[in-house]
Amino acid sequence: MEAAEFIERWAKSLEGGAAAVFIGAGLSRRAGYPDWRTLLADIAKELGLDIEAEHDLAAVAQYSLNRAARKRNKLTRLIVDHFPPKADAPEPFRILARLPVRHIWTTNYDKLAETAWAQEAKLLDVKSRNDDLGFDRSWAHATLYKMHGSVDHPTEVVIAKDDYELYRRERPGFLQVLTGQLVTKQMLFLGFSFTDPNLAHLFASIREAFQDDGPEHYAIVRRPKKGSGPGAKKRFETEKVRHALWVEDLQRYGIQCIEIDEYEEIDEILRAVELKLAGRSVFVSGSYPESAPNDDRRHIEEMARQIGREIARREKRLVSGFGLVVGSAAIAGALEIILAGPAPNLERGLLLRPFPQAIPKGMAKAVFHKRYRQAMVQQAGVSIFIGGLKDTGKAAPVIADGVLEEFKEAQAAGRIVVPIGATGGAAREIWKQLAKDAAWAPPGLNRKEFEQLNKDGLAPVDAAKLIDKVLKAVDAPAGKGKKQP
C-alpha cells in the first residue's frame, strides 16, 4: 500500500474513533533500549550459546530460569537494568500522543508511551496485569495495554517459554480484548517484527475474528538493507524475496504493509496523518478591546461571525480560545450554521479552549501559556488571525502579544496561516511579515487575493469568500493544493 493511501484511510479511522496502535520493540530502540536479542545476549553467553544463532529467544530465557531453579532474580535484574526511565520519548511516540488514538497496545516493557502522553498532559489508563482489565479510569484520554507486562512489575513480565505457554491461563483478558479490537478497530503496527513468540496468539485471534471479512489493519515495515562483505549481494537478493513473500502473507490476516527504507520515515508518515486530521479543524485567533468605538468593534464582530459561518458551512471544526470579541463572534457564526442542521453535532463542530485565568501550582506562567497555545494550535490545520489588540489601561490599545505567540506556534507546527491584515493589530503585523516574500500566498489564493486580506475597508463577506477558497484548497486531493513554505 502506498503511504498516501494509508494516510487518507487511517486519518478517517482516527476521526471516527476506530483506530488503534500496536507498538513493538523497533520503536523503542530509538530511545536506546535493546531489542530482545540484545537483551538476552549476556544470558546466552553464560549458557554457552551464540545469541545470533538462536531463533527461539524465549527458550534462551527459559534455560536461564531452569538453571536458577525457576527463580526469576536474574531475569528481573535484567529488565530493571536495561529499561531505566527516560526523560523524553522518541518523535513517533510524541506524535501518537497528539493524535486522538484511544487504544494503544505494546509488547514492550518500557514506559516511553507513558512519558509521551504525560508530556502532552494526557492521562493514560495503563493495564499491565490481567486484573487491570476489570476497571477503567473514566477520565483517561487513552488506554495502554502492556500485554507482556511492565518494568514497573519486573517479576511478572512475559519473557520465558513458560510465560508464553501459560499466557492464555495467566493473561486471558488481554487476548479477549485484543480479539475484540481486531474486529472493531483498524490497528497500525509500528516497530513490530511479527516474530514475537506471542505471534501465534495474535494471528489466531485475527483469523478467528476475521474469517474472510473484517476491518483492514496496517503495518509500516522496513525493506531489507544491502549489507557488505562476502556473499552480501546474494543474501540481499534472498532477503528481498523473503520480505516480498512475508508482506504478501500478512494480507491473509488483513494487514496491509506500507514499506519504507529508513525507520525515520515513520515520523514523516505519522506527521502527515496528524496534518491530514488537523485539516478538518480551523483555529480562529484574535482579540479586540470591548472599549473600542462601537463601529470598529461591530466591524470586527461581523468579520469574525462571517468567517465562523464559513468554517461551519465547510463542515470544519472551529477551534477557539475565546479571545475578546473575536472568539465569541466566530462561535456565534458557526453556531448559526451548526444549529440549523437536521442533527446538530456541537462536539464535532466546535472545540472551545477558554484561556485559564489561574495557573496550575508549581508551573511558571510563561511555560503554561506556551504549552496551552501549542496544544490548541496543533488541533487545527489552518489558523486564521483577526485583529489582535488588547487594552492595557493606556490611551490606546496595543498589539496582543499572545496572538503573535499563537502565530509562531502555528508556523512551528507547519500549519496554514491566514492573517486578515485589514483588521489591524497582530493580524496586520503577521500579514506584513508574510508579505516580505513577494511570491507568497496561502493555499487557494493568488498573490493579489492575499493582498486583499490587508486592504483597508475589506468587507466581512469578501473576507469570508477568501477564507472559503483557502478551505476548499485544504480539502483538495493530495498534490492539487498549494503548500506554504
Whether 113 contacts 22, CB under 8 Å? no
Distance from C-alpha of 402 to C-alpha of 321, rounded to nearest angstrom: 11
Least Cα distance to 398 among 278, 292, 476 occurs for 292
b/e code 336-374 from CB counts within 10 Å (16+ = b):
ebbeeeeeeeeeebbeebeeeeeeeeeeeeeeebeebbb
**Bridge-based pairing state of the strands 389-390 and 398-399:** antiparallel
Unique residue bearing C-alpha cell 493514560: 124
148 given a catalytic annotation: yes
**Bridge-based pairing state of the strands 350-352 and 382-387:** unpaired
User: Which ranges of 83-194 does DSSP label H, i.e. alpha helix?
Assistant: 91-98, 112-119, 161-165, 167-170, 172-184
Any residues with CB less than 8 A from the CB of 64 and at least 6 apart, and which? 43, 46, 47, 74, 75, 160
The CA-atom distances, in angstroms, between 401 and each of 283, 414, 427, 458 are: 17, 20, 11, 24
All three cell numbers of 95: 506524535
Q: Which residues pair with 284 in a beta bridge?
A: 320, 384
Whether 315 contacts 290, CB under 8 Å? no
Distance from C-alpha of 123 to C-alpha of 257, rounded to nearest angstrom: 30
**Can you list the positions of beta strands (E) in 227-316?**
255-260, 281-287
Least Cα distance to 312 among 284, 288, 285, 354 occurs for 284
Torsion, Cα 455 457 462 467, to 10 degrees, reads 50
Sheet bearing 382-387, strands edge to edge: 350-352, 317-320, 281-287, 382-387, 416-420
Sheet bearing 217-222, strands edge to edge: 124-127, 142-146, 103-106, 19-23, 186-190, 217-222, 255-260
Q: DSSP assignment of 66-104, as one string?
A: HHTTT--HHHHHHHHHH----SS--HHHHHHHHTT--EE
Whether 308 contacts 318, CB under 8 Å? yes
Unique residue bearing C-alpha cell 513458560: 162
Q: Which listed residue (103, 148, 201, 217) is catalytic?
A: 148
Which residues are known catalytic residues? Answer: 148
